[in-house]
Structure 1
Amino acid sequence: MRALWIAAAATFALDQVTKLLVVQGMNLKSVGVIDVLPPWLTFRMAWNQGVNFGLLSNDADFMRWLLVAVAVAISVWVVLWLRRDRPGRPAMIAGGLLVGGALGNVVDRLVYGAVVDFLNMSCCGIDNPYAFNVADISIFAGALGLILFAGGRQPRGRRRG
């Protein structure tokens, strides 16, 4: 479980520090757009009140609190699942990425009322209109890691057949 907690804490810290540095320190919230390595990397301020790509976006406080509750519930479920099954270090790290990212976005919803997105990447003539953050990357990587590393192994103390 130590790997899960270390990965979750590091992910959460990296997410919150990058948001503070870029949004507050570089004043992205007022400037709106900062070209870093155009078109590959642009900091573009976006307040996401929904889930991925702004889906379920809604100004209502109900949706904000529902998304906070869902993120916390999923995080608790992942921790309990991995604690029960103990699938190995790669899956624990993946779980930590997912939990740390989810909690980073929960803090945004609690503090700002929306998730702070600022990373925008485009390439090869394709103009990507969406922004994301370190937490979003971690949630995606963590979910993928859990799919790849958490299945197929029996929990300790339990044997098949």
Structure 2
Amino acid sequence: MPNQSQLANKLLAYSRLYIVAFLVFILDQGTKAWIFKNLPLDSYFYPDSIQVIDGFFYIVHIGNEGAAWGMLSGYGGLLAAFAVVAIFAIYKLRHSLELKRPVMQIAFGLLIGGVLGNLVDRLIHGHVIDFLDFHLPFSIPRILENGRWPAFNIADCGIVIGVFTYVILSFFQKDGHGPEDGKSRISEESYPSR
């Protein structure tokens, strides 16, 4: 059974992940609490929304019962269960995901903070509160018909940036030829088994 010192060392080993996840979660929940208190639900249009940059950026209050782009709308319970499974999988795979690396902790801190933020929304409100609304100066057939990007929130930003950062970092992770692997091979050769 680990003593207090060993437990503290284990917790400190992932301190960046905890701090980043906590900051994303608090920022996400704080902004959503303000939106919930100050804007009526489904305030997608002026004058109920807040115009930040005319014709481009608005603060709205949307209840998204699905995932990104409203996909899987009506399956909030399934999406909440998926969030719990994802966090558990990250915990179980923490060694293979190299979560002791500081940059990986930042990436997964962003991801976990975002997942927890949206999970809390689903549990409390039955939907995710989205409020950042951008209108792009172009349209894409079948994707952005009117140039309006689907509304999103801070948690979504954390998830997207975390996943994107992990994908980029995964191209730079050790492939068996890194200096740490070389050290372990040398030490094994220096002390042959008897």
Q: TM-score, with normalisation over the residues of structure 1?
A: 0.84
1:153 maps to 2:166:
no
Task: Give the structure 2 partner of residue 6 of structure 1.
Answer: 19
Tell me the CA shift for residue 67 of structure 1.
Answer: 0.8
Q: TM-score, with normalisation over the residues of structure 2?
A: 0.70
Change in 2 beyond 3 A, CA 1:16/1:133: same
Tell me the CA shift for residue 92 of structure 1.
Answer: 0.7
Larger radius of gyration: 2
Match of 1:34 among 50, 74, 98: 50
Higher helix share: 1
Task: Give the structure 2 partner of residue 133 of structure 1.
Answer: 153
What is the identity, as a one-letter code, of the residue corresponding to 1:36?
V
| Structure 1 spans left out of the alignment, 5+ residues | none
Please show how residues 114-133 of structure 1 align to structure 2 within 5 Å: 114-126=127-139, 127-133=147-153
Alpha carbons 1:79, 1:95 under 8 Å: kept = no
Tell me the CA shift for residue 124 of structure 1.
Answer: 2.4
Change in 2 beyond 3 A, CA 1:86/1:102: closer
Please show how residues 54-133 of structure 1 align to structure 2 within 5 Å: 54-58=70-74, 63-83=75-95, 85-86=98-99, 88-126=101-139, 127-133=147-153
Of structures 1 and 2, the one scoring higher in RCO (CA 8 A, sep 6+) is 1
Alpha carbons 1:46, 1:116 under 8 Å: kept = yes
Change in 2 beyond 3 A, CA 1:14/1:104: same
SS of the equivalent of 2:59 reads strand
1:21-75: CA deviations, max 9, x gaps? 1231x234375422122223101221111110000112xxxx2221111011112
- Identical aligned residues as a percent: 31
What is the identity, as a one-letter code, of the residue corresponding to 1:41?
F
Alpha carbons 1:108, 1:114 under 8 Å: kept = yes
